Amino acid sequence: MRNRQIVTAIWIAFAWLALPSTAGAQAPIPGATKAAAAPGAAKAIVYVPPPRGEPGSRMGGGTRSAGTDACDAQLEALVPEKHVGITTQSQPVFQWSLSSSVPCRIDFVLNDSRKPQPLIEKTLDGPFGAGIHEIELARLGVQLEPDVQYDWSVAIVRDPERRSRDTVAGGPVMRHTALATGGGTSGAELASLYAHEGIWYDALAALSAGIDAQPNNAELREERAALLDQVGLGSVAAQERGARNGAK
């Protein structure tokens, strides 16, 4: 997948930056050396919310009917529950989950907190099966500016003429350019470094890229489930563990 190739290239770039250099070296994040050196660190990913603590919350999810609609599904944005998720990327990957497949159209919206109109609105390409899906800003030609809060959402559109029937989920994102990483060459190792410094979107993207590269790796799926549990996404984590068991 093109999007995974982009994220995989990001890990390689960060691993390269971690190599010793005599000039112009980028300083690693605080604690990065310790996290990289700790035995088994990649097997115990711990998400530490960013100390800056920008207020924000996950939005929506759930279903809007009694279970008779073909587009009924639990829709969740994979973002922290009570604070703004952080990325170091100008074009991060946003991820969301469906509890079951839906035949309806799904729309993506990105809002800039400084502007009244959406920055972008896009109908996503289906079909949409159960599980985790993603949106890459790189494919939409949009970049995030540093230290600006954006809000993104996905919506299951049951009736384009009655948008009040949409099921919507989303959350905030902010790009911090002062953060950098050092060490970590695998999806789990890099994700652990990101998570330790509260860089939510990049941690999740690194794990997901690792899973794409090794779809039958049950350990990576458990790492992702554990990460989701830590931000209040227990139902998605349980679904992920079901997929993990199927991968064994």
Q: Which domains does the chain have, with CATH numbers?
A: 59-175 (2.60.40.10)
Q: Give the CA distances from residue 191 to residues 3, 47, 106, 201, 229, in Å, rounded to whole numbers and listed in that order.
A: 17, 9, 28, 10, 15
pLDDT, tens digit only, all 248 positions of the chain: 444 444 444 443 333 333 333 333 333 333 333 333 333 334 579 999 988 656 667 776 655 444 567 888 999 999 999 899 999 999 999 999 999 999 999 999 999 999 999 999 999 988 899 999 999 999 999 999 999 999 999 999 999 999 999 999 999 999 998 765 555 567 788 999 999 999 999 999 999 999 999 998 999 999 999 999 999 999 999 999 987 665 55
For the beta carbon of residue 146, count every other beta carbon within 10 angstroms: 11
What is the predicted pLDDT for the residue at 9? Answer: 43
What is the predicted pLDDT for the residue at 52? Answer: 66
Do residues 124 and 108 touch, judged by C-beta distance below 8 A?
Answer: yes
What is the predicted pLDDT for the residue at 218? Answer: 92
Burial letters for 19-55: b for 16+ Cβ neighbours within 10 Å, e otherwise? eeeeeeeeebbeebeebbeeeebbeebebebbeeeee
Q: Give the CA distances from residue 14 to residues 38, 89, 92, 160, in Å, rounded to whole numbers and listed in that order.
A: 19, 12, 15, 42
Q: What does 176-235 look like in DSSP terms, one character per residue?
A: -SS-------SHHHHHHHHHHTT-HHHHHHHHHHHHHHSTT-HHHHHHHHHHHHTTT-HH
